[in-house]
């Protein structure tokens, strides 16, 4: 098309300023896209992790806190649930299965969870997915550990490899349990949930590690060696668990059971419905998300205004060009249209580069997000709704182009083919 | 007039009638889901129940349902409690309850005041603080449980903001 | 045969000015005629060209071009008319600096399909004209601002002539050239004007160039508005 070709070559002539403008818009668009996509990825990732659990029970604490430390390994519990209460819960008639979680240990930055075979049998995530083994099997022997996919990948672990577990939840372990090296019996298939970042041992093993720690610090001679521990395996169980995931026989019973757990007089407990508590979490982060969106929008506006500035400042220089075009038969609206096209081209290039930049940023950040937060972020094209927003931004760019276009229109009407320079 | 013209005219005149023949979902109130006798005894039994354990006290967890509603195409307003999502965080199965929030001063809704909704096509996650109209075919399903008889479920056609 | 261009009782005052810049009783150009219009700066040369080009509307009088009254046309129609029937050469800065030579030459054809059709194969017509204007082939792919002033003026002439317009308006086209090149330019221009059958209105203040033209007209003599102070 006539005007399009002229607009393109005109922009090419002012490459430097145009590239800077395109870059400004691209950065602002990348910010906008990233904010939206990260938000939806984080939300999706969290939902994927809790799908399939009816209730999560822990010592009395804020619901969001319980959700975060039990499922996502973010933060720590301040209190535990007694073994007796856990047993009673597991034996309640409404309860189909109960997965105990004993937390508090770390292995080279990844958390270690004491649990039992109910985890491998009953835990569900995503679209009713059960846990699968990429290699090996669940723990059998006392000192066997199952590791999540990311743990195996990052630490380069294979079946049969020995690992040492540490007390506490810091990244660097000052106190090591050298007496009880574990061997890896299984590596789980990737799930895209915090399961990938976790190591799993039996509850008995969890207890065995802590014999000798009753006074809060390591007492020499008080630990038992591996074989002695194996013999006492049946008697070894923790006196408490940190959290319990419950699946019910009748889903509708969840409301009543939740109430009764929260009202339980023998021990202070909190029971949460993950779907509800997640939304409460989003409500808190929602404000920050909204602010981020507004900021991103303002940055886009700044980018477009930068484009306006560039187009306006060139208007004066282009009076001669406009006179030449008019002399050769161009109509005033065509000259104005040239400027609108230029604005549109700049905005379109900015948007495309911005989307590509966002993709690149996601691809680069994905590994870090996975290892640090257990967040599975796939570098993906914007969703349909976001494309609509981007189309709206293109439209805004064209509208902004109307400003210099109208000025050019009036100027060329007055100038004709002579320019009084 | 030719036969063809008559046929076309008849078709055109009948067209407005077609939507009327399609079944409109019946608008339901929550209390209609509870058998009449139960509503009366419910009030009488609400005092003097043991709260100290996890087990469900029987009068509260009765799953008695109103049989005639089985298979009906109904429309009922309520709040959503998400239960299951698909792999992409979209809502697949949920509870519809008559009021929002587990207010600690009021007991949770009895089983026949809860409808378990299933969506064939998962929809983007909804806000738990918004009220919704749920439309679909109400079913009464048997539950194998010693305290329960049956519970309400629904194959959800539409979930729209109130 | 009727005149190609006929101007009668033309009056024009620039907006905001108190005195008219043009007040011409009668002026005409025959088909294929080469007219030298001389006048000092301020005598209204550029304004007259703007009026013939349809870029300004006279306050009074009539401009008939090939039996069309320019005053009866809308602004858009006048732009179309100009694209179709006229070629324009300025004193300098004729070309879009960021387009190559060939794209500059074919510019008028972008704005009038009729003119493009008259040119036939636009690219071939451009090459022929550039040959005739003596522009070396290796210059033709370059950006317009890479050429010398003399080369640019010859390219401008080629552009004005593409598609065989009926009238070429030249506003001091040789003033920026070296004096010894001026005559050569005019000879090249004349040759193509004749080949195209176009008329030429050549405006200049240098009377030495007038000798080969069909007619010499003094603008101050026909323009009663006189010279601006």
Distance of residue B68 Cα from the nearest chain A Cα, in angstroms: 21
Set of chain A residues whose Cβ sits within 8 Å of the Cβ of C93: 320, 324
Indicate the burial class of A106 (C-beta count within 10 angstroms; 0-12, 13-18, 19 or more). Answer: buried
Q: Which one of C51, C80, C111 would you mutate to disrupt binding with A, by most A Cβ within 10 Å of its Cβ?
A: C111
DSSP 8-class letter at A242: S
Residue A9 at interface with chain C, using a CB cutoff of 8 Å: yes
Question: Does the beta-carbon distance from C55 to A416 stay under 8 Å?
Answer: yes
| SS3 (DSSP) at C5 | strand
**Positions in chain C whose pLDDT score sits under 50:** none
The encoded tokens of residue A330 equal 């161009």
Q: What is the pTM of this model?
A: 0.77
Please report all neighbours of B, defined by 3+ CB atom pairs within 8 A.
A
In this prediction, residue A212 has a pLDDT band, given cuts at 50, 70 and 90, of low
* CA-based nearest residue in chain C for residue A4: C110
Set of chain A residues whose Cβ sits within 8 Å of the Cβ of C95: 324
User: Alpha helices of C41-121 — where are they, by DSSP H?
Assistant: 45-52, 75-85, 101-105, 107-111, 113-119
C78 Cβ neighbours under 8 A, 6+ residues apart: C54, C55, C70
Q: Which of C124, C80, C133 is nearest to C106 (CA)?
A: C124
**Are 3 or more Cβ–Cβ pairs between C and B shorter than 8 Å?**
no
Q: Which one of B64, B85, B86, B88 would you mutate to disrupt binding with A, by most A Cβ within 10 Å of its Cβ?
A: B85
Per residue in A148-169, pLDDT (tens digit) is: 999 999 899 999 888 877 555 4
Supply the angle between the helices A15-50 and A384-415 in degrees, to the nearest 10: 160
Supply the angle between the helices A63-71 and A274-315 in degrees, to the nearest 10: 90
Q: Where are the domains of chain C?
A: 5-222
Q: Are A288 and A383 in contact (CB under 8 A)?
A: no
Set of chain A residues whose Cβ sits within 8 Å of the Cβ of B82: 275-276, 278-279
Distance of residue A417 Cα from the nearest chain C Cα, in angstroms: 7
Residue A302, pLDDT above cutoff 90: yes
Distance of residue A5 Cα from the nearest chain C Cα, in angstroms: 10
pLDDT at C228: 57
Cα separation values, A182 from A109, A156, A176, A414, C110, Å: 17, 16, 12, 87, 80
Residue B49 at interface with chain A, using a CB cutoff of 8 Å: no
Q: Which one of C94, C110, C112, C115 would you mutate to disrupt binding with A, by most A Cβ within 10 Å of its Cβ?
A: C110
Cα separation values, A236 from A105, A207, A209, Å: 17, 6, 10
Number of structural domains chain B divides into: 1
DSSP 8-class letter at C116: H
**CATH for the C5-222 domain, from 3.50.50.60, 3.40.50.300, 3.40.50.9100, 3.40.718.10:** 3.40.50.300
In this prediction, residue A138 has a pLDDT band, given cuts at 50, 70 and 90, of very high
Q: CA torsion C108→C113→C116→C118, rounded to 10°?
A: -120
Question: Does the beta-carbon distance from B145 to A250 stay under 8 Å?
Answer: yes
pLDDT at A120: 94
- How far apart CA A36 and CA A383 sit, in angstroms, is 9
Residue C108 at interface with chain A, using a CB cutoff of 8 Å: yes
The encoded tokens of residue A37 equal 């996509």
| SS3 (DSSP) at C52 | helix
**Positions in chain B whose pLDDT score sits under 50:** 47-48, 59, 103, 145-148
Residue C73 at interface with chain A, using a CB cutoff of 8 Å: no
Residue A329 at interface with chain C, using a CB cutoff of 8 Å: yes
Any idea what the Cα angle at residue A307 is, between residues A413 and A295, rounded to 5°? 140
Distance of residue A414 Cα from the nearest chain C Cα, in angstroms: 9
The β-bridge partners of C88 are C169
Mean pLDDT comparison of A99-113, A123-137, A344-358, highest-scoring range: A344-358
The encoded tokens of residue A91 equal 């034996």
In this prediction, residue A180 has a pLDDT band, given cuts at 50, 70 and 90, of low
pLDDT at B146: 46
The encoded tokens of residue A344 equal 């549109």
Q: Which one of C82, C95, C163 would you mutate to disrupt binding with A, by most A Cβ within 10 Å of its Cβ?
A: C82
Per residue in A309-318, pLDDT (tens digit) is: 989 988 888 8
- How far apart CA C56 and CA A78 sit, in angstroms, is 86
Residue A207, pLDDT above cutoff 50: yes
Q: Which of B110, B83, B82, B86 is nearest to B98 (CA)?
A: B110
Q: Are B154 and B134 in contact (CB under 8 A)?
A: yes
CATH code, domain with B137:
2.40.50.870
Q: Are A173 and A167 in contact (CB under 8 A)?
A: yes
Q: Which one of B34, B51, B54 would you mutate to disrupt binding with A, by most A Cβ within 10 Å of its Cβ?
A: B54
Q: Are C166 and C64 in contact (CB under 8 A)?
A: no
Residue A410 at interface with chain C, using a CB cutoff of 8 Å: no
* Pick from A320, A331, A417: CB nearest C50: A417
Residue A282 at interface with chain B, using a CB cutoff of 8 Å: no
Per residue in A46-94, pLDDT (tens digit) is: 888 887 899 999 999 999 999 999 998 888 888 999 999 999 999 998 8
Per residue in C70-86, pLDDT (tens digit) is: 999 998 899 999 999 99
Terminal Cα-to-Cα distance of chain A (whole angstroms): 31
The β-bridge partners of A166 are A106, A176
- How far apart CA A112 and CA A73 sit, in angstroms, is 10
Question: Does the beta-carbon distance from C75 to A417 stay under 8 Å?
Answer: no
- How far apart CA A93 and CA A176 sit, in angstroms, is 41
Please report all neighbours of A, defined by 3+ CB atom pairs within 8 A.
B, C
Residue A400, pLDDT above cutoff 50: yes
* Pick from A89, A250, A266: CB nearest B148: A250
pLDDT at B147: 45
* Pick from A256, A278, A279: CB nearest B61: A256
Residue A42, pLDDT above cutoff 90: no
- How far apart CA C196 and CA A232 sit, in angstroms, is 112
DSSP 8-class letter at A237: -
Would residue B48 count as lying in a domain?
Answer: no
Supply the angle between the helices C179-196 and C122-132 in degrees, to the nearest 10: 140
The encoded tokens of residue A56 equal 């999560």
* Pick from C56, C76, C108: CB nearest A328: C108
DSSP 8-class letter at B92: E
The encoded tokens of residue C165 equal 């317009």
pLDDT at B148: 46
Instruction: Assign residue A75 a region (left: φ > 0; alpha: ψ between -120 and 50; beta: otherwise).
Output: left
* CA-based nearest residue in chain B for residue A88: B54
Q: DSSP letter string over A161-202?
A: -EE--EESSSSS-SSB-TT--EEEEEEEPP-SSGGGGEEEEE
Q: Are C52 and C3 in contact (CB under 8 A)?
A: no
The encoded tokens of residue A40 equal 């939806």
Cα four-point dihedral sign A364, A369, A374, A375: negative
Residue B106 at interface with chain A, using a CB cutoff of 8 Å: no
């Amino acid at each position: 098309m006539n005007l399009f070709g002229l607009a393109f070559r005109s922009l090419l002539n002012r490459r430097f300023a145009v590239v800077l403008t395109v870059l400004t818009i691209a950065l602002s668009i990348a910010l906008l896209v990233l904010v939206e996509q990260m938000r939806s990825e984080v939300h999706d990732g969290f939902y994927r992790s809790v799908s399939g659990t009816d209730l999560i029970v822990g010592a009395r604490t804020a619901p969001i806190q319980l959700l975060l430390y039990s499922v996502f390994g973010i933060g720590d519990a301040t209190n535990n649930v007694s073994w007796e209460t856990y047993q009673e819960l597991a034996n309640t008639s409404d309860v189909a299965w109960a997965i105990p979680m004993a937390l508090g240990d770390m292995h080279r930055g990844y958390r270690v969870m004491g649990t039992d075979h109910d985890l491998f049998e009953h835990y569900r995530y995503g679209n009713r997915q059960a846990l699968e083994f990429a290699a090996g099997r669940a723990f059998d022997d006392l000192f066997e550990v199952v590791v999540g996919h990311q743990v195996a990948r990052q630490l380069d672990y294979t079946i049969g490899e020995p690992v040492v577990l540490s007390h506490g939840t810091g990244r660097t372990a000052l106190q090591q349990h050298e007496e009880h090296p574990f061997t890896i019996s299984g590596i789980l298939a990737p799930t895209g949930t915090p399961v990938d970042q976790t190591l799993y041992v039996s509850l008995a093993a969890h207890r065995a590690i802590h014999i000798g720690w009753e006074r809060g610090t390591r007492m020499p001679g008080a630990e038992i060696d591996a074989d002695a521990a194996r013999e006492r395996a049946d008697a070894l169980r923790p006196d408490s668990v940190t959290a319990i995931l419950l699946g019910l026989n009748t889903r509708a019973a969840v409301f009543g059971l939740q109430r009764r757990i929260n009202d339980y007089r023998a021990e202070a407990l909190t029971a949460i419905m993950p779907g509800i508590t997640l939304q409460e979490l989003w409500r808190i982060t929602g404000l920050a998300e909204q602010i981020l969106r507004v900021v991103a929008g303002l940055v886009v506006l700044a980018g477009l205004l930068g484009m306006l500035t560039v187009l306006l400042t060139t208007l004066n220089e282009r009076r001669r060009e406009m006179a030449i075009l008019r002399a050769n038969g161009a109509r005033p609206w065509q000259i104005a249209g040239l400027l609108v096209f230029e604005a549109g081209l700049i905005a379109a290039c900015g948007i495309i580069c911005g989307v590509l930049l966002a993709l690149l940023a996601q691809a680069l950040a994905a590994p870090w997000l996975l290892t640090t937060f257990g967040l599975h972020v796939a570098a993906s094209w914007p969703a349909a709704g976001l494309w609509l927003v981007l189309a709206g931004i293109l439209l805004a760019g064209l509208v902004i182009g109307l400003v210099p276009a109208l000025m050019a229109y009036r100027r060329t009407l007055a100038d004709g083919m002579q320019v009084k320079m | 007039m030719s036969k063809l013209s008559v046929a076309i005219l008849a078709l055109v005149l009948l067209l407005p009638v077609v939507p009327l023949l399609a079944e409109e979902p019946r608008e339901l109130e929550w209390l209609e889901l509870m058998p009449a006798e139960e509503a009366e005894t419910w009030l009488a039994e609400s005092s003097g129940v043991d709260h100290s354990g996890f087990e469900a006290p029987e009068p509260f967890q009765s799953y008695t349902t109103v049989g005639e509603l089985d298979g009906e195409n109904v429309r009922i307003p309520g709040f959503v409690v998400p239960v299951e999502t698909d792999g992409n965080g979209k809502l697949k199965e949920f509870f519809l309850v008559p009021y929002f929030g587990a207010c600690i001063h009021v007991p949770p809704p009895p089983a026949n005041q809860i409808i378990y909704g299933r969506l064939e096509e998962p929809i983007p996650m909804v806000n738990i603080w918004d009220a919704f109209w749920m439309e679909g075919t109400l079913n009464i399903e048997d539950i194998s449980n010693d305290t329960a008889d049956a519970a309400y479920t629904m194959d959800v056609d539409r979930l729209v903001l109130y | 045969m009727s005149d190609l261009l006929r101007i009668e009782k033309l009056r024009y005052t620039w907006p905001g000015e108190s005195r008219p810049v043009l007040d011409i009783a009668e002026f005409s150009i025959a088909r294929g005629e080469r007219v030298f219009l001389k006048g000092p700066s301020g005598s209204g040369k550029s304004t007259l060209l703007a009026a013939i080009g349809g870029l300004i509307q006279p306050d009074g009088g009539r401009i008939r071009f090939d039996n069309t009254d320019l005053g009866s046309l809308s602004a858009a129609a006048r732009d179309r008319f100009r694209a179709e029937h006229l070629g324009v050469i300025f004193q300098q800065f004729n070309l879009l600096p960021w387009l190559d030579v060939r794209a500059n030459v074919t510019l008028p054809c972008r704005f009038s399909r009729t003119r493009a059709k008259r040119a036939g194969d636009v690219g071939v017509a451009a090459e022929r004209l550039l040959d005739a204007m003596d522009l070396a082939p290796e210059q033709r792919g370059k950006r317009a601002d890479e050429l010398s002033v003399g080369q640019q003026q010859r390219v401008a002439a080629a552009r004005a002539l593409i598609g065989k317009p009926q009238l070429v308006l030249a506003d001091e086209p040789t003033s920026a050239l070296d004096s010894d090149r001026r005559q050569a330019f005019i000879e090249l221009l004349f040759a193509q004007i004749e080949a195209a059958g176009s008329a030429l209105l050549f405006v200049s203040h240098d009377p030495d160039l007038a000798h080969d033209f069909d007619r010499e007209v003094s603008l101050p003599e026909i323009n009663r508005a006189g010279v601006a102070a």
